[in-house]
Structure 1
Amino acid sequence: MAAHSLGFEGDDNVFPLEPPDEDSAGAAAIVAEWVLDRRLELKLEAKQVATAAETSPSTYSRIETGRGRVHPKTVARVLDVLGFKHGPDRQVFMELVKEAAGKGWLTSFHDAAPGFIRRYYSMESRAYLLRTLETRVVPGLLQTPEYARAISSHTLPADGVGMSGRIVELRMERQRRFFAGERAEAAFFFPLSVFDPEIGPRRMIAAQIEHVIGLAETPGVMVRIIPPRLPVGLTVTAITLLEYKTGSKSNELIYEDHGDVGQYYMPRARTRSLFENRRAMMELVWSVAMEFDASLDALRAKLEEYRD
């Protein structure tokens, strides 16, 4: 996927024409998506927005496509024209723009994960609703440090095992930020088989199950157990639906994790059919998942197996 950027030239700073790495591409793509959708919702032509914002059509195009350098005052005027004059919606936009410029907390973990992983973490932190389907391991947001360390040690190549500590540090910081204060409502779908691989001592697996149960009992977090054999063929490690809200409109994005690469799908003309196909697949999986109470009972029964 081609990288996009929203670069700003300010009096005191100059952001790059292209992002320093892949971290920012997803954030810039969402900014561009929302600006375009908002303009279409208002039934405005791009030239009308540009004129009202006192900028050229080519400059506005750079905002809407997420490419090139734009002065921050110009972006502010565009947001005004589109109805984002103040409040949380404008704040969300500006935070995404900051992330798109590669200035977020994830830049300090450049050595701990590839760009597509860091890019996803950035996208995840901006969502107000998250639904994730994991088929092989415990979802990352639910992992204990010991489990995360064991998973990293088992999946890293021999020359990368030394990075396990930094990877765990990144995952724990991701969790801390996600669960601190106001957060997205989150639903996690996975089979009980994620606890079966012998990646560590039984006490570690038991502690991991207990941790999942504890998180599932907190407000805004739901865990649903799915059958070991799904009605659809999945070739991805994980797939997540993220939902963002600006004004009265919700915007969705689907992220697929193939293990060594990540892919985004948005309900735009270019990827609409792929997005709709994956969303339908996820809805089918959700429809066969155990209800919440039954899922908790299944987890408690699994915990007793590891305690015996």
Structure 2
Amino acid sequence: MRIERGGLTQREVLAKTKIKVSVSVYSRIENGETRIDKPAVVEVLLDALGVRPGPRRQELLQLANDASVEGWASSVRTRAGSAYREAVPDSMLRLTSLEERAARQLIIDNNVIPGVLQTPRYREVVTGKTLLASQRTLAPRIIEVRGLRADRFAARLPRSTLFIQRSALYADFGQPAMMVEQLPVLLDHMDDMGSPVAIRVMTVEDPLALQVTSLIRLSFEKGAFAAPDVIYTEAGGRAEFHRGPIAGEEAASDYLDYQDLSDLVIKQAPGPIPSRDLIVEALEWHRARL
């Protein structure tokens, strides 16, 4: 959210609120670069900025309350203290919170079937094969958290388009039976005319050319205080978030790069019928190897 300070300086606002943060931290709050976790802080800021009781103030307070609600992954993280803390990094907390509120999402994965549509068997095998060496002891807990994420997705089914690299349809890790179980899950969505989940198979080699293994683009309902789009990327075990512009603001260059990249993938990917044919072809190949 953005509120005009009028003639007040940032120092004057802080003096009025008695909030113990530096001017630079407050500047990041004002520019939407730092999250405010406590709605009470927002109320103090509104008082200092002279936002009087009324519909506008109430809407801003409601927005603050909505934004402060933690995602389901937060409760998992504290379930057994530190046992789950490493399995649920801050990036997962933020991603799951955003996913819960997104009206639409676009998922591009270079190497595997996206996690939200993985079967339990596929998830267990792929997680074990793709984790960094330092994370392997966490595998059981990571698999559990990823399964919970898939369950939440299945229960809500937000409008989504998933882009899967063709080579991922053939990567069975020595278990063709696993793929014979996994690929029909994709076909079920493609054959269900009422499913809000669309699937496209990418045939261009290395479509995510910026050394990114996966990308998720999240869009939110538009309204008086619409949240900007967010792009989440993973590369080499490192996760990053890239915020889109809000009204009157120029988009950051990294966000524009990933927006252009995802737009290019959308244009290059085959349509639903060719994509379905590619999945069927891969399924038949795996069945022949049983």
Which residue is 1:278 aligned to? Answer: 258
Which residue is 2:56 aligned to? Answer: 83
Which of 119, 135, 139 is the equivalent residue of 1:164?
Answer: 139
TM-superposed deviation, 1:188: 0.5
TM-score by length of 1: 0.70
Number of residue pairs aligned between Structure 1 and Structure 2: 260
Which residue is 1:186 aligned to? Answer: 160
Matching of residue 117 in structure 1 with residue 117 in structure 2: no
RMSD: 3.6
Which residue is 1:223 aligned to? Answer: 199
Distance 1:85 1:220, change over 3 A: farther
Which of 203, 216, 223 is the equivalent residue of 1:247?
Answer: 223
Matches within 5 A, 1:41-56: 45-47=4-6, 56=16
2:175, 2:238 → 1: CA distance? 30
TM-superposed deviation, 1:231: 6.2
Which of 129, 134, 139 is the equivalent residue of 1:154?
Answer: 129
Percent identity (aligned):
23
2:256, 2:28 → 1: CA distance? 27
Distance 1:262 1:221, change over 3 A: same
Matching of residue 99 in structure 1 with residue 70 in structure 2: yes
TM-superposed deviation, 1:251: 2.0
1:150, 1:103 → 2: CA distance? 22
The residue type equivalent to 2:102 in the other structure is: A
1:62, 1:280 → 2: CA distance? 26
1:159, 1:272 → 2: CA distance? 33
Which of 136, 150, 157 is the equivalent residue of 1:175?
Answer: 150
- What SS class does the counterpart of residue 278 from structure 1 fall into? helix
1:250, 1:74 → 2: CA distance? 17
Q: Give yes or no for contact 2:177–2:287 (8 Å, CA) kept in 1.
A: yes
TM-score by length of 2: 0.74
The residue type equivalent to 2:122 in the other structure is: Y
Which residue is 2:11 aligned to? Answer: none
2:36, 2:62 → 1: CA distance? 22
TM-superposed deviation, 1:201: 1.3
Matching of residue 208 in structure 1 with residue 178 in structure 2: no
Distance 1:135 1:68, change over 3 A: closer
1:242, 1:261 → 2: CA distance? 19
Matching of residue 139 in structure 1 with residue 119 in structure 2: no
1:203-238 deviation digits (Å, cap 9, x = unpaired): 101111112222343521000111142566241110
TM-superposed deviation, 1:120: 1.8
1:160-216 deviation digits (Å, cap 9, x = unpaired): 4443222121111111112214x4211001212012234241110111111222234
TM-superposed deviation, 1:144: 0.9
- What SS class does the counterpart of residue 56 from structure 2 fall into? coil
1:242, 1:69 → 2: CA distance? 21
TM-superposed deviation, 1:300: 1.5
The residue type equivalent to 1:260 in the other structure is: G
The residue type equivalent to 1:235 in the other structure is: Q
- What SS class does the counterpart of residue 181 from structure 2 fall into? helix
Q: Give yes or no for contact 1:131–1:188 (8 Å, CA) kept in 2.
A: yes
The residue type equivalent to 1:210 in the other structure is: P
The residue type equivalent to 2:145 in the other structure is: L
Which residue is 1:8 aligned to? Answer: none
Q: Which structure has the bigger radius of gyration? A: 2
- What SS class does the counterpart of residue 99 from structure 1 fall into? coil
1:168, 1:140 → 2: CA distance? 10
Which residue is 1:235 aligned to? Answer: 211
Q: Which moved more, 1:202-211 or 1:55-64?
A: 55-64
The residue type equivalent to 1:175 in the other structure is: A
Which residue is 1:263 aligned to? Answer: 240
The residue type equivalent to 2:117 in the other structure is: L
1:303, 1:116 → 2: CA distance? 34
1:74-116 deviation digits (Å, cap 9, x = unpaired): 5399597673746xx976652321329x994343442424332
TM-superposed deviation, 1:67: 6.0
Q: Give yes or no for contact 2:104–2:159 (8 Å, CA) kept in 1.
A: yes
- What SS class does the counterpart of residue 178 from structure 1 fall into? helix
Structure 2 residues without counterparts, runs of 5 or longer: 9-14, 20-25, 79-83
Matching of residue 72 in structure 1 with residue 40 in structure 2: yes
1:244-270 deviation digits (Å, cap 9, x = unpaired): 124154621111111311111123468
1:234, 1:67 → 2: CA distance? 28
